[in-house]
Amino acid sequence: MDNHPPFIDTLKGNARQAGYDDRIRCLVGDMNSMNFPEESFDAIWSEGAAYIMGFKNALHAWRPLLCPKGYLVISELVWFKEEVPLEIKELK
């Protein structure tokens, strides 16, 4: 889930190309207002959303959505080098 449709379109294309499109649901939406039944997900992968929502809020909101042996992955994009590749600069 992302609130930026072009990112979801890219994910759908990549999933289809890799043969995972039948296993991944790609949704445009807001992580702050996920309206899914409890235990809906085997995995939730968050790149930056937990820090936007507030870490405690994210954990509180997402934990009930995971299946009993589900995975929650939380990461934050960090750049450690001074020189930024052109591809990254163009994302701004």
Number of domains forming the structure of the chain: 1
Q: Is the pLDDT of residue 84 over 90?
A: no
- Would you place residue 92 in the very low, low, confident or very high pLDDT band (cuts 50, 70, 90)? low
Range of the domain at 79: 5-89
CA geometry: angle 67, 4, 55, nearest 5 deg: 50
Of 68, 91, 67, 71, give the one whose Cα is nearest residue 79: 91
Which helix or strand (DSSP H or E) is residue 87 part of?
helix 86-89
User: What CATH number is given to the structural domain containing 81?
Assistant: 3.40.50.150
- Would you place residue 12 in the very low, low, confident or very high pLDDT band (cuts 50, 70, 90)? very high
